């Protein structure tokens, strides 16, 4: 199959296969199992690059030189702090709040305190994007520690990367090198994915002329829905049902026979495989081996094999991301917020691109309601 051959739309997805705009940012599944960021194959960059390189690629349009990367990382380090008013807002949120709601609220609060200029120039949008990807982890962990233990943590660390910074704040100690590399790879894999639901939501908001913060908050709201985000959280819940791989296989076979849907398999666009899966699976395997505990990985691996055999369904990125994040001690409810930290790079790049396009997005609807009803005044209605 060549790169221009249209794939068969999936009936379970509304508007599947319908072209809704142009982008130079990403291609997904043109051959059934490929992903490229600005022309770069995900399989070539996911394990070789740092996340900040890919953030720069998406937001600024090219891979950075060594000097540019060093300067960019220094800039991001300087943006990790939170304004006092944002900390006050985060402190008002209860421990029972969903972390996705915390990030949505934090973005809105930051947008009130440091609003985007009305000119909406690309340079200003890129500055805001940098501040967001640098400080979203600070927002999440500041709220987490304050709401759960009353501790007001200092969010500015000397860690060299966004992933290391997040892990340091979460666990209150510098993370090991293999965890930092795992975070680089996982964040790269989640960074961009063409016109998915949250990205399209961000582009719709951008098309109205709204500000970047509103577009990112709207995208978080779309990712909050379980049909889009949250699959990595559900994947871990499934995996944690079982004490071992044999028990997992027997139960999954029974559930498949009973026509139960198993989250973490299949994809709205990919038809052959999710190319990100082979990368994150190896990340999960390495973390499990380093920890000397392969049980969770082996359960996930066995379920993957059963789903391929019984349903011819492939694991998507979320399936082994759950294993990897769990091995790094990340609370399950923070899995999708990590998705947000990564995907904010893609969202921001799409907002900038949509603004350059200059069009409002206003599709038509197929009306299926009643026709030509006779109006009845209110005093004659029964």
For 295-343, write each residue's pLDDT tens digit: 999 999 999 999 999 999 999 999 999 999 999 999 999 999 999 999 9
d(CA 137, CA 154): 12
Per-residue tokens: 73: 């990382």
- What are the CA-CA distances from residue 85 to residues 108, 112, 309 (Å)? 12, 10, 54
Q: How confident is the model at residue 2 (pLDDT cuts 50, 70, 90)?
A: very low
Q: Which residue of the set 130, 159, 211, 318 is catalytic?
A: 318
- Region 228-238: mean pLDDT is 93
Active site residue 318: yes
Q: How confident is the model at residue 35 (pLDDT cuts 50, 70, 90)?
A: very high
Mind giving me the DSSP string for 147-190? HHH----------SSHHHHHHHHHHTSPPPHHHHHHHHHHHHHH
φ/ψ of residue 28, rounded to 5: -130, 125
Q: Let me know: does 361 contact 204? Beta carbons within 8 Å.
A: yes
Per-residue tokens: 210: 């709204």
Active site residue 251: no
Q: Which residue of the set 145, 178, 228, 357 is catalytic?
A: 228
Q: How confident is the model at residue 82 (pLDDT cuts 50, 70, 90)?
A: very high
Q: Which residue of the set 267, 274, 301, 350 is catalytic?
A: 267
> pTM (2 decimals)?
0.94
Active site residue 120: no
């Amino acid at each position: 199959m060549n790169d221009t051959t249209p794939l068969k739309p999936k009936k379970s997805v509304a508007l599947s296969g319908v072209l809704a705009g142009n982008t130079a940012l990403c291609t997904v599944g043109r051959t059934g199992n490929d992903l490229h960021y600005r022309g770069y194959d995900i399989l070539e960059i996911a394990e070789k690059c740092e996340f900040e390189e890919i953030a720069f690629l998406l937001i600024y349009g090219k891979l950075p030189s060594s000097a540019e990367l060093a300067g960019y990382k220094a800039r991001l380090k300087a943006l990790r702090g939170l304004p006092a008013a944002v900390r006050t807002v985060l402190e008002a949120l209860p421990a029972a709040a969903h972390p996705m709601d915390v990030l949505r609220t934090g973005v809105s609060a930051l947008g009130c305190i440091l609003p985007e200029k009305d000119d909406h120039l690309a340079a200003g949008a890129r500055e805001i994007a940098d501040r967001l990807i640098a400080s979203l982890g600070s927002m999440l962990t500041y709220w987490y520690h304050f709401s759960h233990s009353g501790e007001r943590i200092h969010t500015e660390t000397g860690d060299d990367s966004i992933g290391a910074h997040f892990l340091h704040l979460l666990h209150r100690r510098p993370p090991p090198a293999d965890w930092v590399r795992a975070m680089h790879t996982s964040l790269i894999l989640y960074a961009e994915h063409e016109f998915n639901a949250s990205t399209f939501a961000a582009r719709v908001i951008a098309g109205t002329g709204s500000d970047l913060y509103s577009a990112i908050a709207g995208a978080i709201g779309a990712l909050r829905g379980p049909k889009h985000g949250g699959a990595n959280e559900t994947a871990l819940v499934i995996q944690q049902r079982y004490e071992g791989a044999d028990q997992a296989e027997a139960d999954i076979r029974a559930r498949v026979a009973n026509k139960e849907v198993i989250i973490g398999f299949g994809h709205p666009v990919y038809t052959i495989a999710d190319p990100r899966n082979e990368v994150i699976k190896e990340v999960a395997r390495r973390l499990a081996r380093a920890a000397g505990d392969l049980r969770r990985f082996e359960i996930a691996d066995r379920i993957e094999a059963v789903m391929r055999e019984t349903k011819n369904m492939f694991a998507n990125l979320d399936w082994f991301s759950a294993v990897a994040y769990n091995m790094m001690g990340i609370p399950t409810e923070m899995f999708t917020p990590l998705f947000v930290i990564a995907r904010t790079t893609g969202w921001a790049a799409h907002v900038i691109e949509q603004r350059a396009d200059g069009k409002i997005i206003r599709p038509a609807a197929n009306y299926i309601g009643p026709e030509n009803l006779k109006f009845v005044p209110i005093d004659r209605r029964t």
